[in-house]
């Protein structure tokens, strides 16, 4: 019988055997459920021979770069290297409006930053004389990924079995003399099972209950050009949505709930001043797996509070609209 306890025990033993008594592993953290649970499992197996990398891509949510670091270090006890590459990402994204181009830039930039850090980690191990090498003398380490069963299915049906790694996690760009071998401790699991494992591992609910957040982050929720100003505006609006949805006790029932910044300015009035500012759309959906989704009938009172708080508290937005489109034919994200 499958139980979280049994899964944890057998996975920890397997990873420990795979990595060996001296091996090292690297894990990219996103702050989400999957990568965190994968990291905690591997940490349980090999302790601080696991190093995690967390990258600020400039399009994280408000205060997320600091909060995730604190949680991962203080509550999960992980060794985390945090890389603040926000400006580098934002300068590459400057002037880009095409959704797929945004994804590609963020994916490529992530690989570049991750590779740099992985290389530094391996060099450091080499300096300390604890690096492992293969028969040809290449430095070897393990790469931990939080791939789930649906990811395996989805990627293999779309792209063929040779490319099961999501593009933004791809390690194809690693230098030739560095070999990372993949560990995917969650690849037989569904999301609800991952949450149960996390609970059994004693991980905080604030991580386990997090709604999914796309790899390209707020970049695919800022329609049109991404500028530091627009990122800041959307971070504030998004924070209001999350706070109010949580305050209403609806956060866990919704698959996702968030704000989208539209490149549309409209006229408004504030006090006796005319305003001319952006419009923001609120999106809230229920879903089992993200493949299909229904727009959620948020209570009018919740919408009212969200709308008045955003318009009053977020400079740069003077109008709020609600998205009542299901998937299909709409997608969850606007880009
Ligand atoms: P859509 O918008 O396609 O989204 O209905 C389905 C689910 O996938 C997430 N999503 C992404 N996740 N990289 C990701 O890691 C992406 O480029 C991406 N695009 C969409 C979305 O948040 C939703 O949960």
What tens digit of pLDDT does each residue of 261-318 get? 999 999 999 999 999 999 999 999 999 989 999 999 999 999 999 999 999 999 999 9
Sign of CA dihedral 185, 191, 197, 201: positive
pLDDT band at 139 (very low <50, low <70, confident <90, very high): confident
Q: How confident is the model at residue 121, as a pLDDT?
A: 94
Q: Is residue 261 part of a domain?
A: yes
Q: Name the domain count of the chain.
A: 2
- Residue 217 Cα to ligand 1 middle (Å): 9
Give the pLDDT of residue 163.
37
Please indicate, yes or no, if residue 330 is contained in any of the structural domains: no
Enter the tokens of residue 289. 């797996």
Atom of ligand 1 nearest to the CA of 333: 2
Q: Count of alpha carbons within 13 Å of 115, Cβ hemisphere only?
A: 17
Q: Which long-range contacts (CB under 8 A, 24 or more apart) does 249-252 make?
A: 250/284, 250/296, 250/298, 250/302, 251/209, 251/211, 252/209
Q: Are residues 193 and 312 in the same domain?
A: no
Tell me how far apart the alpha carbons of residues 320 and 17 are, in angstroms, rounded to a whole number.
54
The β-bridge partners of 275 are: 268
- Confidence grade of residue 166 (pLDDT, cut at 50, 70, 90): very low
Task: Over range 134-163, report the average pLDDT.
Answer: 76
Question: What are the binding residues?
Answer: 30-36
The region of weakest confidence among 130-134, 167-171, 241-245 is 167-171
The CATH number of whichever domain residue 119 belongs to comes to: 3.40.50.620
Of 174, 207, 240, the position where a domain reaches its end is 207
Global pTM? 0.91
> Would the CA dihedral through 314, 315, 318, 321 be positive or negative?
negative
| pLDDT score, position 164 | 34
Q: Which two tokens stand for residue 202?
A: 């004693």
The answer to whether residue 216 is domain-embedded is no
Residue 27 and residue 153 share a domain: yes
Residue 297 and residue 285: Cα distance in Å, rounded? 9
Q: Which residue CA neighbors atom 10 of ligand 1 most closely?
A: 214
Tell me: ipTM over 0.90: yes
Lowest mean pLDDT among 134-148, 209-223, 247-261: 134-148
Q: In the listed set 207, 242, 267, which residue is the last one of a domain according to the structure?
A: 207
Please say if the pLDDT value at position 134 is more than 90: no
CATH code where residue 241 lies: 3.30.300.10
pLDDT value, residue 177: 65
86 in the same domain as 197: yes
For ligand 1, atom 11, the nearest C-alpha belongs to 214
Task: Let me know whether 147 and 236 are in one domain.
Answer: no
pLDDT at 110 over 60: yes
Report the separation in Å between the CA atom of 51 and the middle of ligand 1, taken as the mean of its atom positions: 27
Q: Ligand 1 mean position to 27 CA, how many Å?
A: 21
What stretches of the chain show up as alpha helix (H) in DSSP?
4-19, 33-46, 64-70, 86-93, 99-127, 149-159, 191-200, 205-208, 228-247, 300-313
Tokens at 62, concatenated: 């408000």
Same domain, 138 and 238: no
Instruction: Give dist(CA 10, CA 150) in Å, integer.
Output: 22
74 belongs to a structural domain: yes
Ligand 1 center–CA 333 separation, angstroms = 6
- Residue 327 pLDDT exceeds 80: yes
C-alpha to C-alpha distance for 24 and 21, rounded to whole angstroms: 9
**Ligand 1 centre and the CA of 111: distance in Å?**
19
| Nearest atom (ligand 1) to Cα of 327 | 5
3-state SS class at 172? coil
Residues 72 and 144 in one domain: yes
> Is the domain of 128 the same as that of 41?
yes
Pocket of ligand 1 (CB under 6 A): 103, 212, 214-216, 256, 290, 327, 331-333
Count of C-beta atoms within a 10 Å radius of residue 261:
26
Residue nearest to atom 21 of ligand 1 (CA): 214
Task: Please tell me the distance from the alpha carbon of residue 127 to that of residue 192, in angstroms, as a whole number.
Answer: 42
d(CA 215, CA 3): 30
Q: pLDDT exceeding 90 applies to what percent of the chain?
A: 86
**Res 1: pLDDT:** 80
Of the candidate ranges 76-80, 130-134, 176-180, 313-317, the one whose mean pLDDT is the lowest: 176-180
Same domain (yes/no): 246, 133 = no
pLDDT (tens digit per residue) in 35-71: 999 999 999 999 999 999 999 999 999 999 999 999 9
Confidence of residue 157 (pLDDT cuts 50, 70, 90): low
The answer as to whether 14 is a domain residue is yes
Do both 286 and 244 map to the same domain?
Answer: yes
Ranking 14-18, 149-153, 245-249, 288-292 by mean pLDDT, the lowest is 149-153
Is residue 36, in this structure, part of any structural domain at all? yes
pLDDT surpassing 50 at residue 116: yes
Which domain-ending residue is among 160, 182, 207? 207
* Residue 26 three-state SS: strand
- The separation between the first and the last C-alpha atoms of the chain, rounded to the nearest angstrom, is 41
Residues 232 and 316 in one domain: yes
Residue 335 resides in a domain:
no
Asked if 171 and 148 sit in the same domain, the reply is: yes
Residue 328 lies in a domain: no
Q: Are strands 256-270 and 294-295 parallel, antiparallel or unpaired?
A: unpaired
Q: What is the pLDDT of residue 175?
A: 60
List the domain range (segments joined by +) for residue 241: 222-322
User: How confident is residue 165, by pLDDT bands cut at 50, 70 and 90?
Assistant: very low
Q: How far apart are CA 128 and CA 30, in angstroms?
A: 28
Residue 124, beta-bridge partner list = none
Above pLDDT 70, what percent of the chain?
93
Per-residue pLDDT at 144 exceeds 70:
yes
Do residues 196 and 49 share a domain?
yes
Cα–Cα separations (whole angstroms), residue 236 to 60, 64, 239: 12, 12, 5
Mean pLDDT of the chain: 92
């Amino acid at each position: 019988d499958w139980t979280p306890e049994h899964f944890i025990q057998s996975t920890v033993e397997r990873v420990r055997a795979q990595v060996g008594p001296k091996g090292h592993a690297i894990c990219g953290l996103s702050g989400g459920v999957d990568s965190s649970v994968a990291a905690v499992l591997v940490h349980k197996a090999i302790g601080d021979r696991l190093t995690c990398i967390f990258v600020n891509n400039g399009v994280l949510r408000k205060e997320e770069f600091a909060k995730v670091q604190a949680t991962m270090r203080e509550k999960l006890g992980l060794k985390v290297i945090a890389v603040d590459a926000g400006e580098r990402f934002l300068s590459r994204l400057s002037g880009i409006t095409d959704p797929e181009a945004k994804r590609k830039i963020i994916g490529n930039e992530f690989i570049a930053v991750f590779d740099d850090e992985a290389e530094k980690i391996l060099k450091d191990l080499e300096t300390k004389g604890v690096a492992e090498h293969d028969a040809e003398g290449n430095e070897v380490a393990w790469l931990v990924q939080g791939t789930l069963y649906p990811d395996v299915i989805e990627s293999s049906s779309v792209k063929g079995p040779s490319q099961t790694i999501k593009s933004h996690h791809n390690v194809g760009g690693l230098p030739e003399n560095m070999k990372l071998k993949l560990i995917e401790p969650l690849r037989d699991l569904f999301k609800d099972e991952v949450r149960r494992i996390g609970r059994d591992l004693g991980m905080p609910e604030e991580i386990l209950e997090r709604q999914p957040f796309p790899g390209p982050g707020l970049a695919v929720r800022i329609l049109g050009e991404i500028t530091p100003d627009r990122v800041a505006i959307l971070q504030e609006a998004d924070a209001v949505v999350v706070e109010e949805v949580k305050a209403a006790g609806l956060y866990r029932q919704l698959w996702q709930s968030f704000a989208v910044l539209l490149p549309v300015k409209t006229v408004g009035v504030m006090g006796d001043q005319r305003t001319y500012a952006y419009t923001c759309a609120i999106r809230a959906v229920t879903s089992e797996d993200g493949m299909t989704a229904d727009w959620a009938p948020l209570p009018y009172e919740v919408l009212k509070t969200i709308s008045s708080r955003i318009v009053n508290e977020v400079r740069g937005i003077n109008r709020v609209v609600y998205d009542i489109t299901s998937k299909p034919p709409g997608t969850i994200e606007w880009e």
